[in-house]
Chain A
Amino acid sequence: MTSLGFDYPWVLLLLGLCVMPLLGLGPRWWPSPSLIGIPRDRVSEGAEIGLRLLAALSMALLVLALGGLHRRDGIVTRTGKGAHVVLLIDRSVSMDQTFDDREPTAKQESKTAAAVRLIQKFFAGRPHDQFAVVAFSTSPILALPLTEHRAAVAAALGAMKRPALGKTDIGRGLGLALAQFGTDTTQAQNVVLFVSDGAGVIDREVKDKIRADALRTHVHLYYLYLRTKGDPGLFEKMDTADASAPASLNQYFSELGVPYRAFEAEDPSAVARAVEQIDRLEVHPIRYHEHVPRRDYAPLLYALALGCGVLVALALLAERGLAEGRP
């Protein structure tokens, strides 16, 4: 998984220098006319070889440090708790009004602000999830495909707080959201969190496509309906069939054949409760990747080389003598 590497492998050619301390072990020039008179001293001979090896070792360590020996960075796959979550966020103009259908003030935040703030909290509490961000108004807009990069998800959510535009086309938005999942559902559970303050008619053709995609991706669908004051409720019984009412959309979703939950929120605290509930429900095993950072061994190698070098230096000083009068 992780392995060693060199930044400058060509520097390793300098390892050839390490043989230098080992050279000249044979016959050598000596100030006395004959060595025969000097008794053989095995301790000194051993010390000589030891010191030369130490010198060679310190040079080798130094060359390894200069070559940039390091443990490569890598990715390890781990299993945690989480899901693949597509955040499908309504960006039509009405979302920029408050729950009381007024202009937002310092005290009362807009539906967008409340929803995004609570989704950001949801995101912060789920470190192993992958997220995608899909905005929809008149047209569906893919802000960010599914990713593990948390900074990018945070940036996409931040961008969702900007002024909204246009009208609402739920069908195409859902279609784009479902298109974010691969067909391989063994990796993680697919979840769509759909946040909107309205409903609308979905084209028959699009309805069939959504149903097929939902079944194919085994998605868990959550509809967080931000109910504005005066708007029809999600669970209201309808006297007359109104295809564009939230209740009809609720009906359609519940007949999709995939796990589905609807939440109606009339104020930010209700949104918070809904998001917490979703957070508790979506706990599945997920394979995620963790980045193992690169580690440089240079400091360690310098320290070891220094250790060897100091021993050699002490030996040299001792041999040559620090004071006059010694041989």
Chain B
Amino acid sequence: MTRAMSRVMACPALRDPGSWLQVAACLFLGAALLFPTLPHRRATYSLLAVVDITGSMNVRDYTLDGRPASRLEEAKAALLRMMSDLPCGSRLGLALFTERRDFLLLEPVEICENFSALEDAIRHIDWRMGWEGESHISEGLARGVTLAHSVGSDLLFFSDGQEEPPLPWTGQPASLKRDPRVRGLILGMGGTQPVPIPKFDDNGREIGFWADSDMPTENYAAPPPPGAAQREGYNPRNAPFGASRHTGMENLSSVQTAYLEQLAAGVGLDYRELDSPGQLAGWVERVAHVVRLAARANIAWIFGMLALICMTARMAWAIGSTRK
């Protein structure tokens, strides 16, 4: 046995570094062919974006590319930017919110394969698609959570938090339920300065702004607030809210931070205020469920590199040894 070993060790080719470097290069090339990839798991996300398309979302208190932009345009820009920022394999679905309902436009689909279709659908989202003017955000949100769960996604809810008609003085009527299976974000849209809401005619032409007198300023579905008895013309049966119209600021709109935070806490979502479209993907990566997709990582290049190093070393050694 030892004699055989010594015979092999005595083999001149093995004492020649050039030979075994070339053999090693061949082995590495074989490895590159046999084991080109390693399985690994990639992080992706599945999201349902519910976009509030009620009137106050037409307020232009954002700036996009140096031009004034509405809250709706900002929300759309944020979604488009998010699609380019999130990893391929992630899925995005779209729904609209007005009144009390969320209308599903698209079930979640993969974002890279369907990029242009999703982009086109997002660009065409418009306030004109709204089927009713009211905006009961807490109900839309609660339904949004259920909808997101039914399509196996986390929720992104874009809204400025402006209830229409205004919330009753008694506060939030609907009870919100947490669903631990749905994570996500409420995205507060709009600036903190109250600004007038644009008004449109039947044909969709902008015709100025809503006036205070156009808007219900109190919620008449709830009991009258305490102190209503002191109002002018109060009558417990005929005029429980007083005879004169309560003046409010419902024609002006700003982001309702406190209310949206309260809603977010109610359904167990995170709340963020959107200032620029680029922020969204980073927030999603921090908050949303990670969906692990099987993928394969290329490792052939490592073997290829080692083979190239061996070949180069052999040539360098050969050149060096000829110049002794």
Report which A residues bind B (CB closer than 8 A): 14, 17, 20-21, 23-24, 28-29, 55, 58-59, 62-63, 65-66, 135, 137-145, 147, 149, 151-153, 155-156, 158-159, 162, 165-166, 298-299, 302-303, 305-306, 309-310, 312-313, 316-317, 320-324, 326
Distance of B78 from chain A, by nearest CB (Å): 20
Whether A317 contacts B304 by the Cβ 8 Å rule is: no
Give me 9 A-to-B residue pairs in the complex whose CB atoms sit less than 8 angstroms apart, sorted by A's number.
Answer: A17-B312, A20-B312, A24-B318, A62-B311, A65-B301, A159-B104, A165-B101, A299-B33, A306-B30
Measured CB to CB, the nearest residue on chain A to B118 is A152
Distance of B36 from chain A, by nearest CB (Å): 7
Whether A312 contacts B22 by the Cβ 8 Å rule is: yes
B16 at interface, CB cutoff 8 A: yes
B293 at interface, CB cutoff 8 A: no
Complex Cα gap A174–B321 (Å): 84
**Which stretch in B105-113, B193-201, B233-241, B243-251 binds the other chain?**
B105-113
Option from A28, A140, A151, A162 in Cβ contact (under 8 Å) with B322: A28
Option from B96, B312, B323 in Cβ contact (under 8 Å) with A141: B96
Complex Cα gap A169–B11 (Å): 92
Option from A14, A138, A140, A149 in Cβ contact (under 8 Å) with B308: A14
Contacts A23-B319, A302-B29, A322-B13 known; A151 to B113 CB distance under 8 Å? yes
Contacts A66-B301, A312-B22, A323-B11 known; A302 to B32 CB distance under 8 Å? yes
Measured CB to CB, the nearest residue on chain A to B31 is A302
Whether A309 contacts B311 by the Cβ 8 Å rule is: yes
B307 at interface, CB cutoff 8 A: yes
Complex Cα gap A322–B16 (Å): 11
B121 at interface, CB cutoff 8 A: yes
Distance of B3 from chain A, by nearest CB (Å): 12
Whether B307 contacts A149 by the Cβ 8 Å rule is: no
B10 at interface, CB cutoff 8 A: yes
Whether B105 contacts A156 by the Cβ 8 Å rule is: yes
Whether B322 contacts A24 by the Cβ 8 Å rule is: yes
Per-residue A-contact encoding for B215-234, CB less than 8 Å = 1, 0 else: 00000000000000000000
Option from B18, B36, B101, B319 in Cβ contact (under 8 Å) with A24: B319
User: How many pairs, one residue from A and one from B, have CB atoms within 8 Å of each other in the complex?
Assistant: 172
- The interface residues of chain A lying within 8 Å CB-to-CB of B121 are 142-145, 152, 156
Complex Cα gap A65–B104 (Å): 47
Complex Cα gap A303–B19 (Å): 20
Whether B129 contacts A142 by the Cβ 8 Å rule is: yes
Whether B107 contacts A144 by the Cβ 8 Å rule is: no
The 7 closest A-B pairs by CB, nearest first: A152-B117, A20-B315, A149-B117, A306-B29, A320-B13, A159-B104, A147-B117
Besides A17-B312, A152-B106, A309-B311, 19 other CB < 8 A contacts?
A: A17-B308, A29-B322, A55-B315, A63-B308, A66-B301, A135-B103, A138-B132, A141-B129, A145-B121, A147-B120, A151-B109, A152-B109, A162-B103, A298-B36, A303-B33, A306-B26, A317-B19, A317-B23, A322-B11
Interface majority SS (helix, strand, loop, mixed), chain B: helix
Query: Count the B residues whose beta carbon is within 8 Å of the partner chain — how many?
Result: 59
B93 at interface, CB cutoff 8 A: yes
B324 at interface, CB cutoff 8 A: yes
Most buried by B among A135, A302, A305: A302
* B1-60 at interface with A (beta carbon < 8 Å): 7, 10-13, 16, 18-19, 22-23, 25-26, 29-30, 32-33, 36
- The interface residues of chain A lying within 8 Å CB-to-CB of B301 are 65-66
Complex Cα gap A65–B36 (Å): 12
Whether B26 contacts A309 by the Cβ 8 Å rule is: yes
Option from A59, A135, A138, A298 in Cβ contact (under 8 Å) with B311: A59
Contacts A65-B304, A305-B29, A310-B26 known; A155 to B106 CB distance under 8 Å? yes
Most buried by A among B117, B304, B318: B117
B64 at interface, CB cutoff 8 A: no
Whether B11 contacts A143 by the Cβ 8 Å rule is: no
* B126-161 at interface with A (beta carbon < 8 Å): 126, 128-132, 147
